[in-house]
Amino acid sequence: MSSPTDKTGSRSPSIAKDGSRPGSSHVPSLREKGSDLGHAEALTVDDAAARRAAFKIDIVVIPLVGMYYLLSFLDRSNIGNAKIAGLTKDLKMSPHQFSVALTITYVPYILMELPMNLLMKRLGANRTLPIMVILWGAVCAAQGAVKTYHSLLITRFFLGALEGGLFPGIVLYLSSFYKRHGMQFRFAMMFSSTSLAGAFSGLLAAAIQNLHGKRHLAGWAWIFIIEGAFTSAFGLATLFFLPATPRDINWLTEHEKSVYMQSLADDWSGDNDSDGEGQEVFSWSEVGSVFINAPHTLLLCIPLFFSGVTLFGLANFSPTIVNALGHSPNRSQLLTVPPYACSFVISIAAAYLCDKYKSRGLMTIACSLLAAIGYAIFLGTSHKHADYAALYLQIIGVYCIAPCLSTWNANNVQPHYRRATAVALSFVSTNTGGIVSTWLFTTPPRFHTATCINLAFSLGMALFSAIAIVYLKWRNTQKHAEVARLLAEHGAGTGPGEWDSKEERRRLGDRHPRFEFTL
């Protein structure tokens, strides 16, 4: 079946008789070529242009947002390093008060996620992301000047408020730049910076705390000051370099922009205006639709909550866990480095496989079980070398899960404001889990209760991921049947106002029969 031509002269994506989705290499201007040989050559050239564009985007966007998130994770979790460097002793804090200080960070963090995601398209990610980095870096540095427990609580509150929109904002930002099944590899490169943050945090803390006494400041104060000041400086330096959309990147040629934007539109990726034919208007009904008719998003919020408990528990307490095994504070800082370095490499490899096979759920299940084995070993032995080996499995498993779940959720929700809401909701779930994690590690040195709960939640992630796979597979089967029915009753239906028109695809997003969910 040939593709009909619309009023502008461009062609809608080809529609196969079997109801399959259109290919991602569709470029309308090149389908005008005459001969089959010329057509094939043109597609090859344009595929190459799309790959060049993706590479040019990768080498700038991924390092910038990766560094943003590394600094975010570093500045939020370095309180764990400050704790064993003397923070709680100097401020006369009890374990309960330390948990309160962690918890108060997450409350404004959660409250800011949805508003910032909805505002980002209007204000521009190229402004909102670096400004957030500048401001929370300043607050992080201010923690080094606190003299009382209550002043620490104030700085932790504002740290959470200013940093809250970053992670969901980055996920939403990347989803507008990359195809659905090319996103996890990029997201993992960004997110795996948390593994580097865990590694660098130990190394930096071990080095910085040697400044103890300089200018009459404690070593833990220098950890906050130096890391926070660098964060603000980096945010300021990148304020004018981060592009708002792929169309705004001035280091792409016009041809590369055109090809790349069309490839996003053909792949149900990017924003609704990826094909340059209109921009989505904000609607509260689209925000509310996530809660009404996006059960797959609500279903994934359960393993995302479990992921938040395990992830932030390790982020905030891994130095404490290692220290409880009998190591000195300085050695404990250094021993947290190797597990995070390993998780960095394995997370990238796992993401590559997920994108290659267009699958998220199976890798989530495998990594959840790996983490569960680590928690089980920690429960079953009291030998410090075995416990340290178990920490490797926990960190590798838990840190590989987060990119899978986050990308899985973003892959399956369109259009923009619906996706923005779903992404924010998923991180509300994750950070609610973060709040729970702050109250679990209260019984050193074995942390029995925390380990039991994390083991149960790791198994829960595997279970609910399996349920999500079954549900999404069933929904795809329904969609295929609906496409077959519509083809039989109405034909291709690609004209203005018809069921498979560009306008209907843009309006319905993942609710359109042609949209196929990622498993």
Residue 33 confidence (pLDDT): 34
Distance of CA 108 to the CA centre of its chain: 19
- Neighbouring CB atoms inside 10 A of 467's CB total 14
47 CB-near residues (< 8 Å, 6+ apart): 25
Residue 469 confidence (pLDDT): 97
Residue 506 confidence (pLDDT): 82
DSSP state of 180: G
Q: How far apart are CA 194 and CA 189, in angstroms?
A: 10
Phi/psi for 5 (5° steps) reads -105, 135
Q: Which two tokens stand for residue 193?
A: 């910076």
Give the total residue count for the chain: 519
Q: How far apart are CA 409 and CA 31, in angstroms?
A: 33
Domain boundaries, the chain: 44-480
Mean pLDDT by runs of 10 across the 519 residues of the chain is 37 39 38 36 62 89 89 83 88 90 88 87 87 94 94 94 89 88 86 67 74 81 92 92 85 87 81 55 84 91 96 84 81 82 90 92 97 94 87 94 92 88 91 88 83 96 97 96 91 83 86 92
Q: How far apart are CA 364 and CA 405, in angstroms?
A: 7
Q: List Cα–Cα distances, 461 to 365, 369, 399, in angstroms.
A: 7, 9, 13
Residue 44 confidence (pLDDT): 43
As beta bridge partners, residue 11 has: 5
- For the residues of 5-33, what is the DSSP string, one character each? B-TTS-BPPP--TT-PPPPTT--GGGGG-
Residue whose pair of structure tokens reads 């109801």 in the numeric block: 19
Residue 142 confidence (pLDDT): 94
Residue 20 confidence (pLDDT): 43
396 CB-near residues (< 8 Å, 6+ apart): 339, 342, 343, 346, 347, 367, 370, 371, 374
Q: List Cα–Cα distances, 405 to 281, 392, 468, 507, in angstroms.
A: 28, 21, 11, 25
Q: Which two tokens stand for residue 492?
A: 């291709």
- For the residues of 236-254, what is the DSSP string, one character each? HHTTTT--SSGGG-TTS-H
Contact indicator for 452, 324 with CB cutoff of 8 Å: no
Q: Please, what is the end-to-end C-alpha distance for the chain in angstroms?
A: 29
Residue 462 confidence (pLDDT): 97
Residue 18 confidence (pLDDT): 40
Contact indicator for 469, 519 with CB cutoff of 8 Å: yes
Residues 90-115: b if buried by 16+ CB within 10 A, e if exposed: ebebeeebbbbbbbbbbbbbbebbbe
44-480 under CATH 1.20.1250.20, yes or no: yes
Q: Which two tokens stand for residue 103?
A: 């918890």
